[in-house]
Structure 1
Amino acid sequence: MTDLVLVLNAGSSSLKFQVVDPASGEVRVSDHLERVDESGGFEAALAAMQESVEAAGIGRDDLVAVGHRVVHGGDRLRDPTLVDDEVVATIEHLVRLAPLHNPPALAGIRAALATYDDLPQVAVFDTGFFADLPPAAATYAIDRDVAAAEGIRRYGAHGISHGYVAGEVARALDRDLDELDQVVLHLGNGASAAAISGGRPVDTSMGLTPLEGLVMGTRPGDIDAGVLLHLLRHGDLDVDGLEDLLHHRSGLEGLAGGHDVRDLVRRLGEGDPDVCLAWDVYCRRIRKYVGAYLAVLGGADAVTFTAGVGENVPVVRRDALAGLEPLGVVLDPARNEACAGPDGPVVVSADRSAVAVLVVPTNEELAIARDVVALLG
C-alpha cells in the first residue's frame, strides 16, 4: 500500500490541502477551501476536506501522517518536528513574530489533532531552512543584550520553497547541488530572495518577521525604521494601526491601489501612472537584491524565479533583470515570453549568459511530505 501524507497549509480564512505520495511526487488530492472563518472554522473545514479525500478513494489507513506548514519556528523549532503540547505552546508563543501566519497554522494543527488523533502530526517550519545563516547575515546591529533578550535576529521565511527550488535547479542544470551558487526569488503575494551556496543559505531578504525585504503584494519590504517612529509620533497611528498599514496597506496595494499582478500588468500597459511607479519600485527592489546577492556569493551559477508571480508573469522577470547584463545575467526574450506557468524547470537565459536564469515551479507540499517521511523513518 502506498504511504500517503496529508499536507495542510492553513491561512487566516482558507485551508489548502494535498494528499501527496512522497516517493513519486504524485498529488492524489488537492483543494483550497475559502472563507473558513465564515463556515464553522477549521473543524468544519477539516470535515469538508475529509469528504474530498474519501471521495478520491483514500481511506485513513492510506495516510501515514499529517504535515503542517508553519511560518515561524523561532530559535527553538528549526527542524521538522513531531507535534505535541510543548510544540503547540511554542508556536503560540511565536505568534508575536508572525501575527498573521502562526495563528491560523495553530488553528489548523488543533483541528487536525482532533480529527486525526491516530496519526502522527509533523510541523515543518518556513524559518527552518535559514536557521544556520552565517552570524553576519543573521545579526541586526542593535544592542546585543536587547537582541538576545527578545530573540531578535534574521529568521527568514519561504524556506521550504527556497530549499526545494534550489534542489530542482541542480537537477535541471545536471549539476551537483554542493557546487552551485544560486539566487532564488520566491515571488508571490509574499516575496523573498535568498542567496544559496552549496545548498545552504548565506543570506535572505525577510528578517525577524515576514515584513522585510522585497516589495510584496500588501507589505512594504525594506523601510527606514525612522519612518515607523515618525508615524507613531506624528501620523495619528497607534501600534495596531501601524501593523495594519504595514501588513495590509503597503507594497503594491499601497502604491497602486491593488495587488493582483495580472490586473497591474493590464494597467501598466494602459500607462496608469500609479502602476508605472509601483512597478518600477517593485522591479528595482528585486534587481537590487539580485545584484547584492551576486556580490555576497562572489558571482552565481543561477538566478531562479518561482511562486505565483515568478512562474507566471514574464514581464516581471524581464523588467527585474533589465540592466544586469554587465553582471553576466542575460535573459532570452523569446524563451522568457514563452514561459508562463511551466510544468517543470525551464531555462530562460540566453545561450551567452554567464548566469543561468530559470523558472522553476515550487512545490512546498511535496517538500513537506518528504520531510515528514524522513522524520518518521
Structure 2
Amino acid sequence: MRNVFVLNVGSSSIKYQLLDVEDGTVHGEGVVERIGLKGSGVADHARALEVVLEELPDVPIDAVGHRIVHGGTRFVQATVIDDAVEREIEALADLAPLHNPPGLAGIRAARAVLTDVPHVAVFDTAFHATISPAARDYAIDAEVAARTRIRRFGFHGTSIGYVSRIAAQLLGRERDPELRLVVLHLGNGASAAAVLGGRSLDTSMGMTPLEGLVMGTRSGDIDPAIPLYLAREHGYTFAELDELLNKKSGLLGLAGRSDMRELVNAANAGNERATHALDVYVHRLRHYIGAYAAELGGIDAVVFTAGVGENSSYVRRRAIAGLEFLGLSIDSERNNASSREPRYTSPDGSPAAVLVIPTNEELEIARETREAASR
C-alpha cells in the first residue's frame, strides 16, 4: 500500500492530497471551495468529490485517509471506517459541531464512490489520548463531568505527532522513551504539548480548541467567570459570547489584526497595541514552556511548527529569550535563516535544542491510514 488519498473536509470545502506514503511524493493536491453556496456550481460534498476525482492524475488509490477533528474517548487511534464507525462519529457531533458533521459528509461521499479501498478516520484528538488523568480532568463535579463528557481532549494531534517523530530522528533519539519535548504548534490556531518518549503527557487545548495559548482570533486561557459576568451584567447571549471568544479575541481583539507579520511590522514601527498584543502572546508561550518543563522534569528540545512557528524568527527569539536556566538558547544566524527543512536554531553544544520542523499533516494522516489499514 503506497498511494493514500487524504481528505480534509470542511462545511463548504474539500482540501485533498494524493501522495505516496513511502517517499512523500505528492501526485495531486488542491481544494474545492464554496460547496453548496449560491453560484458555486458544486451542490454538495458528493459532487465536489466527483470534481476532485476528475482532476486527479491516473494514479491508483490504495486507501483513503479522512481527517476527523474529534474522536471523543472512543477513538484513540486511526480507525478503519465501517457503518458502525460512521454512526459513532456522528454521535460525537455535539463535541465538534463545526467540524465532525462535514467530515462525516466527506466520509459518506467518498465511501459511496471509492468502494474497493479501505477508508480510515484519523482523529486530531487521538494523539492526546495518553495525557495523564491529572492533566485530563477538570476540577468540577465528577458526575456532571462524566455525564456530559467534559474533560481535556486536546487538538492538533496529527501535526504534533508528526513533528515529535521528526524531532526524535533529528536528535538521534528515535526510540528513547525519556525524550522530553515541548512542541509549539503556532498558526492561527495554536497549542502547546508536553511530549515524553513520543507520547502526549499534557496539552494546552482542552475540551475545545479555545483553551490555552493566545491565538489569531481565540482568547485562549481566561477566567471562566468572565463569560458569566458578561452574560449577567452586560446581557451577552451564548451566541455573542461564542463569537467574542472564538472570532473577536486573541491577537485580533488585542491589536485589531491577527497576521503575525503585520503585527511585528506594526510593533517595530511603534504601534503600542501591536507591541502589547505581542507581549501577551509571548508571555503565554513562555508560561506553557515553563509549566511543561516542570511536568517533564526538564526539556531536551523545544519544537516550533506551523505557520507562525516555522516562519516567525521574532516569535522564536522572544519565546526562548532568558530561558538559559532550562538549557535553551537561540543562535541568531540560524534563527533568521529561511529554510523548509527541519533544522536547529540553537547553538552547537546547547544543553537543550531549539528546533524548527515544518509540519506535514497530510503525510502523517497518510502514514496512520496505512498503519490502520494494515492491522
Q: TM-score of the superposition, structure 1-length normalised?
A: 0.93
| Secondary structure at the counterpart of residue 209 of structure 1 | coil
Q: Confirm or deny: 8 A CA contact 2:129 2:200 kept in the other structure.
A: no
Q: Alpha-carbon deviations, 1:95-148, whole Å to 9, x = none?
A: 222233223222322222233233321100011111121111111111111111
CA distance in 2, matches of 1:302, 1:231: 40
| Secondary structure at the counterpart of residue 19 of structure 1 | strand
Alignment of 1:202-351 (within 5 A): 202-339=201-338, 342-351=339-348
Cα displacement (A) at 1:57: 2.8
Q: Which consecutive unaligned segments of at least 5 residues does structure 2 have?
A: none
Q: Confirm or deny: 8 A CA contact 1:167 1:177 kept in the other structure.
A: no
Q: Alpha-carbon deviations, 1:251-297, whole Å to 9, x = none?
A: 11221222222222222222222211111111111111011111111
Asked if 1:159 is matched to 2:168, the reply is: no
Structure 1 residues 103 and 253: CA distance shift in structure 2, 3 A: farther
Q: Which consecutive unaligned segments of at least 5 residues does structure 1 have?
A: none
Q: TM-score of the superposition, structure 2-length normalised?
A: 0.94
CA distance in 1, matches of 2:154, 2:351: 28
1:99 paired residue among 93, 97, 100: 97
Amino acid corresponding to residue 341 of structure 2 in structure 1 = G
| Secondary structure at the counterpart of residue 325 of structure 2 | helix
Alignment of 1:1-377 (within 5 A): 3-38=2-37, 39=40, 40=42, 41-53=44-56, 56-58=57-59, 62-178=60-176, 179-339=178-338, 342-377=339-374
Structure 1 residues 262 and 48: CA distance shift in structure 2, 3 A: farther
Cα displacement (A) at 1:368: 1.0
Structure 1 residues 183 and 68: CA distance shift in structure 2, 3 A: same
Structure 1 residues 264 and 99: CA distance shift in structure 2, 3 A: farther
Q: Confirm or deny: 8 A CA contact 1:98 1:210 kept in the other structure.
A: no
CA distance in 1, matches of 2:266, 2:52: 37
CA RMSD of aligned residues (A): 1.6
Which is worse superposed, 169-178 or 287-296? 169-178
Amino acid corresponding to residue 103 of structure 1 in structure 2 = P
Q: Confirm or deny: 8 A CA contact 2:328 2:350 kept in the other structure.
A: yes
Cα displacement (A) at 1:159: 0.9
CA distance in 2, matches of 1:358, 1:311: 9
Cα displacement (A) at 1:93: 2.5
Cα displacement (A) at 1:236: 2.1
